[in-house]
Amino acid sequence: MNAEPERKFGVVVVGVGRAGSVRIRDLRNPHASSAFLNLIGFVSRRELGNIDEVQQISLENALSSPEVEVAYICSESSSHEDYIRWFLNAGKHVLVEYPMTLSWEAAQDLWKLAEQKGKVLHEEHVELLMEEFAFLKKEVVGKDLLKGSLLFTAGPLEEERFGFPAFSGISRLTWLVSLFGELSLISATLEERKEDQHMKMTVCLETENKRPLTWIEEKGPGLKRNRHLSFHFKSGSLENMPNVGVNKNIFLKDQNIFVQKLLGQFSEKELAAEKKRILHCLWLAEEIQKYCYSKK
């Protein structure tokens, strides 16, 4: 990616919330990967005109324009599936913020569609590019897990827009799968007080070696965004995360990975392993959702 680009891929950003705004900023700044990309405009349901000299264009124009070769899908999760399908069918490459879809089956269909069209479909996972994850990966390598837990707290989130908690919290599940391999669902519960905007999801998982992992998502007014973890190994324990530094440019690092895929710099083996992990996490999220609903 250090070479001078022979061509630039025209990009449109769909959705200009937090993630979309960061994507636009990174595309406009001079970075190694941005040199391969040309920001054409953004798509939004709101009438915004221009943002920092970047023009708003209609969805129809974004889909039909031969200039647009890439779509960054940064809208709310409930709309991801439709946008991915529309842009792939229009012959565009797609980068989408996680979760790709709110259904395992839909994700499989979209991956088949991307393969049929010969296009890159990339699901962002900035949580795997964080300093905390790099620290954890080093800490757990070669160790024999006995049991573990991961608790995440945050303010309320609208399920209609962002999906069931196992989907909106899929970055935590991705951490666990990336650290300990594929997991099985043992049980799950969802406690809700809708009048207070409070919910708590408790999920009991098991590694392939039958080691228990507990994942808890708790959201409600006044709850600070925080992660608490506890991993017990035969050789000792890891309780909570030390301060391992600031996460810098994680969306830009994700863009670098996407551009490498556009340029064919990822092996088939690497792409297949990533796809397997993403589909496994989406499958687990759906199984958790089904389990919780079956108990209601």
Rounded to 5 degrees, what are φ and ψ at 237? -130, 155
Amino acid at 65: S
Contacts of 266 (CB under 8 A, 6+ apart): 260
The question of whether 131 is a catalytic residue gets the answer no
- Do strands 198-206 and 184-193 pair parallel, antiparallel, or not at all (unpaired)? antiparallel
Rounded to 5 degrees, what are φ and ψ at 143? -95, 150
Of 69, 81, 127, 286, the active-site residue reads: 127
Of 69, 81, 97, 217, the active-site residue reads: 97
Of 72, 83, 98, 291, the active-site residue reads: 98
Of 171, 277, 286, 291, the active-site residue reads: 171
The question of whether 171 is a catalytic residue gets the answer yes
Of 44, 75, 123, 172, the active-site residue reads: 172
Cross-strand partners of 71: 12, 94
> What sign for the dihedral angle of Cα 132, 200, 171, 22?
negative
The question of whether 69 is a catalytic residue gets the answer no
Specify burial of residue 6 (Cβ count, 10 A radius: 0-12, 13-18, 19+): exposed
Structure tokens at 201: 């999801």
The question of whether 97 is a catalytic residue gets the answer yes
The question of whether 4 is a catalytic residue gets the answer no
Q: Where would I find the H helices in the chain?
A: 18-28, 59-64, 80-89, 104-117, 131-140, 159-162, 165-168, 170-180, 250-262, 268-294
Of 124, 159, 217, 286, the active-site residue reads: 124
The question of whether 127 is a catalytic residue gets the answer yes
User: What residues are labeled active site?
Assistant: 97-98, 124, 127, 171-172
